[in-house]
Amino acid sequence: MFRSPFMNAVIEMAEECRNGEVPVAAAIVFEGKIVAISTNDVETSGIPWRHAEFVAISEALKKLGVRYLDKASLYVTLEPCAFCSAAIEKVRMRDIFFGAYDTKCGAIAHTIRLFDHSMVKPRIIGGIQEERCSSILRKFFGKMRSTGKRNVIEDEVEQSFDDAWSVLEAGSR
């Protein structure tokens, strides 16, 4: 079984996701060190492409002052989607290590299988601590379905509305 402290770091980060973000985390490793690590930032930023991989890639490019990450590795808890896979291809990532497979939106081992058709041929290892990564996502979506809420931000907005309404009602008495 493939074990890595870098994979453990992204899994732990995914487990700590809050604010209604889908719990996916990614890290860019260069010369044996994590140079960027992030979680999804879609709900918080309101920007639909702020996936963990995209954020980590952007941070790594900036931090390293390079255009390509051809000597770097990506560790991520979920198989990257088509958008993230294209970003990974554009920066010529050397290695991709991911946890859970994504049969609906994953673009590495599923759907378009982007690297089967690319000149960029990273080393790809999927299914790393797959059960642990899948479990994080199952818990998140299970909670979302059981509460009928899209995310925790809805809870916070609803609570703020309830608080404001209580103040208005109290003032009108």
DSSP string, 28-51: EEETTEEEEEEE--HHHH--TT--
53 part of the active site: yes
Active-site residue identified among 21, 43, 53, 79: 53
Cβ 113 vs Cβ 101: under 8 Å: no
Distance CA 164, CA 98 (A): 44
The order of strands in the sheet holding 95-100 is 33-39, 25-30, 72-78, 95-100, 123-125
Mind telling me the catalytic residues? 53
